[in-house]
Each structure stands twice: as C-alpha cells, then as structure tokens.
Chains A and B, each alone.
Chain A
Amino acid sequence: MSAVLYGVLAAFFNGLLVGSLYGLMALGLTLIYRVTKIPNFAFAEYITYGAYAAVAASFVIDPVNSAALLVAGILFATSAGAVIALASDELVFKPLWRRGSEVLQLLVASIGVGLVLRYSLLGAAALTGGKYLEVRFPVTYQTVFSVGGLASITTAHLLAITSMVLFAIVLHLLFTRTRLGKAMRATASNPTLAQITGINVILVRRITWLMAGALASFAGFTYSYYNPVNPESGWITLLWIFSAAIMGGFTFYGVLLSGLLLGIAENVVGFLANYYLGIGSEYNPVIALVTLVTVLMVRPEGLIRMESLVVARRV
C-alpha cells in the first residue's frame, strides 16, 4: 500500500476514535442545552473531572485486576461527573434561572463555573507537587486489529464508538418515546405550564443534570483510557464539542454524525495538509473552529438535523 493511503487509513482510524469522543461529549452538552437552554461552558470540566475520578479509582482498587479496575473507573467517573454537574446547577444555574436570567447571563455563569473548576484542579495539582498535572488511566487499550502495524482499531475505538451510538439511541428514544423524556422537553418548552400539568419540574431538571454529568465524565473516562489527561483536556476539547453540537443542530443523531465527521476531518485533512502542504497538526483545531463559525453564519439551526422535533431557534 502506498504511504499516502496508509497514512490516510491511520488518520481515518484515529479520526473515528477522536470523533466518537467528540460525539459522545456533545451528547451530554446537547442534553443540557435542550432541557435548560444553557450553552454550558463548564461542561468541559465535567469531562476532565470524570477522567481524574477514573484515575483516582486506581488508587483504591488493586491495579492487577484490570476488569475490576475498568468497572471501578467508570463508576468513579460517572458518579463524580453527575455530582459536580448537579452541584453546579443547584448552586449557580438554577438560582439564576429562577430569577429569569437571560441565556447570555447563564453562559457567563457557566464560564465562571468552568474557571473555578478548571483552575481549582490545576491549583490542586500544582499544590501537590505537579505529579497530577497529567494523569492516565492505568489500564491501557489493546489493539483489536491492525493494518500494517500502525493503522489500528483498538479497544478504545470499540468503547468510544459503541458507547456513543448506544447513548445517542437511548437519548433519542428517551426524548421521543418516554414519559420522562417528554416531560424534559415540556419543561424546556414551557416550564410554567409543565409545572401546572403536574410535572415535577425541579426533579426533571435534577435528572437531566445527573445524566449529562455522568455522560460527560464517562466520556472523560474513555478519554483517559486512550490518552493522558491534564486539567485542561476538557477545556481544549470544548470548542470541538460545541462545533459538533451546533453542527448537529442539537439533535442527538445529528450530533453523533457531526462529532464523527469533525474527528475524521481533523485527522484526515490534517494528515493530507501535512503531507502535501507541510502544514503542521497544530493547526488542526482551526478546522473545528472554522466549521463552528461557518455553520453559525450560514445555518445557525444546524447542518445535520436528524430530528423533526426541534423547532428552529427563534434567534
């Protein structure tokens, strides 16, 4: 096989993994956005904290038993993310929402929450001598199959792709088929009316944050399973996540596809640009950012909308 094709294949495989992670992460962001209308910048930190919590699990569980460690990592991560997400709503977003704050104020608040979470973690890592400025889940992925040794599909691929597809389906069915999901949408659509029809609006909101936080930190766990994680990992990924969510029009299947596309574009286009034009991979994030800006300029309601239910935003 020619070097170019080989490189493209490797980039494609890598893009699958990264893209699945973007999609997975964007699902949680979408859930929060759909129910509470908050473009939550603090979402990035739920991912990071999830990764750190997963690593913390390895201090508790005997690292010899890798299956038990994986389960413990997932449990630690999801519970930490769920709790932090819920806490950020109870302490910050809900009080603001009750007062009738505008979306923009909620956005600014989420930036504040994000700064507090991210820099506290950085501060804590620095205080403890910098040992935790970068962590990695002790169980590493295995190659499942490989083309010529470098372009491979690994267990990390399987984990990321399966969980992304699974969660997207679950969320879609939740929103369209179940009482809880419809109650979530009703709460988003008209909270006052939802309340008087007997929907426990507060409970619905809590469930939403718990789910989204767990989802974010599960993604964080998956991230730490294949890549070292530092306190800024989530933040650095955030604009990709927003790109995927906005490109997908905040619909679950659309977000999944957008995440995949962005991940693959990042790697394949990045590889080709490097190969033919000598442009370094450090420019890759520009792909996500340009996509984000272009989609918002041309079609702010999203490019790949996989659901008829979302009414066009009345911008």
Chain B
Amino acid sequence: MGSAPPVLETLGLTGGYGKNVIVEGVNISVGEGEVVALVGPNGSGKSTLLKSIYGVATVLGGRVLFRGSDVTKLPPERKTAIGMNYVPQTENIFPDLTVRENLEMGAYLVRDESLVRDSMETVFSIFPQLRGFQNVLAGSLSGGQQRMLAVGRALMTRPKLLLLDEPTAGLAPKIALELLDLLVNVREEAGVSILIVEQHARRALELADRGYVLVSGRIAAEGDGKSLLAREDLQKLFLGITG
C-alpha cells in the first residue's frame, strides 16, 4: 500500500517580491493532519514562504504541490476553492462587517447553505467566545478575538490545509499562548493540517508535530518539535525569540 501524498509539499521553492528573492530552494512538507511550525529569526522569510505557497507573493522558481497536484501557478482564490486557506498576519478580517458576516464571506465560494451553517457551528465550538458576538462589528472586537475570527473565517471553506501567518503577533503574551493552545483544537475539530509561522518559537514547537527552522531564506534545520528544541546549536535562536 503506497502512502498518500502529503497535503503540502514544496520542491525547491524560491519566492519573493518582484525580482527580489527572499526565500530560496525551500523543500518542506506537511502531512495529513499534521501541525507544522515554521520558526526562525526576524526577516528570515517565514511569512514570505507562506505567501509564496499561497500565491500572494511571487513564486520565482520551484513547485508547490497540494495533495499531490501542482498548484504553483494557481491564484490565491483558486487555492481557497480547492481546500487551502491562508490567514494573513495583518488586516485579516473585514472590520466593517459583523462577526457572522465575516464568516459568511469566508465561505463565499461555498454555495451550500447547510454546509455554511455547519462550518459556522464548528467555528463557534472551537472559539466559543465568538458565538456571543455574532452581530457585533468585527472591528470592535478585542485583538485576540479578531485573530480567532480571522482563523475562523479561513476555516469556513473547510480547508485541508491552513496557512497561519503569525496569528499571535501583537497580542499580549498570555492571550497569545491561549490562542496557540486553541489552535491545536482546530486540528482536532476541523480535521485540518496546519502550517504555522510563529514568533513564540518554543511554544509553537512544543505544540507542533514537526518544525522547520528558516534562516536567511533557507531551511537550516528540521525535525520533530522536541528534538529541535533540544538541539544545542539552536538554543540561541529560541532565546532570541520570545516564548
């Protein structure tokens, strides 16, 4: 029995903005149901890697495979349609829409009303806080709630793969760690694989199944979270980052 292809695989992915190369020759993979953390110092290109995968940044070389098929050239909205979704680091909600409408817009491509209702229920069960704010304008939510909504919005298409770009950036440490814990529930409840870029490297690697360390646009180390955390040569990196 041949094993199923990974949900996401990049082959020598080079990406950046315009002609500027930010990440180069990156090979990573995310397996079915896996949570994979992408860590590294500031400016190492973690976010750009995520954007290149999703198609928001320019792919300058290499390939992106989603469940075995080549999606390198697919525009972002097409990727959303086939089961990938992405939560940008900033401006990741519609502030002038209510919480409920944000989620509805997340499922814009889903035509089946009952599927949308089910997905919304799932989101509310993962983030119970949001349920009470359904008719509140998203822009008036607290920072932590806005992040929950951003992740919830991305879950509305029932993706197989979720790309999270620093979902805790700018949050108070306590709230950030709570949110990270909640994200593990996302995998359980929504049955989704997650590739997460995270500043709180230590915590992220503890929670993740595997991790990649990105330095200056290249993969410097990979392995399961605990072994990466144990590596002497990477301690400086983890100390340099909060968490």
Contacts and interface: CB of A to CB of B under 8 A. Distances in A.
Verify whether A and B have any Cβ pair under 8 Å. yes
Contacts of B180: none
A78 to B, nearest CB: 29
A109 B177 CA distance: 48
A65 interface: no
B80 A196 contact: yes
A218 to B, nearest CB: 27
Interface stretch (B40-48, B104-112, B166-174, B228-236): B104-112
A193 interface: yes
A310 interface: yes
B56 A186 contact: no
A189 B76 CA distance: 19
A2 interface: no
A194 B94 contact: yes
A196 B105 contact: no
B81 A198 contact: yes
Contacts of B139: 311
A196 B94 contact: no
B77 A186 contact: no
B153 interface: yes
Interface stretch (B85-93, B126-134, B183-191): B85-93
B105 A192 contact: no
A309 B96 contact: yes
Contacts of A179: 104, 108
A311 B137 contact: yes
A299 interface: no
A197 B95 contact: no
B77 A193 contact: no
A194 B137 contact: no
Interface string B129-162: 0000000010110000000000001000000000
A92 interface: no
B95 A194 contact: no
B101 interface: yes
B97 interface: yes
11 contacts: A179-B108, A185-B96, A186-B101, A189-B94, A190-B91, A196-B76, A197-B77, A197-B80, A198-B80, A198-B108, A199-B105
The list of the 8 closest CB pairs from A to B, nearest first, reads: A189-B96, A198-B109, A189-B94, A198-B77, A196-B76, A186-B105, A198-B108, A186-B94
Interface of B: 54, 56, 76-77, 80-81, 86, 88, 91-98, 101, 104-106, 108-109, 137, 139-140, 153
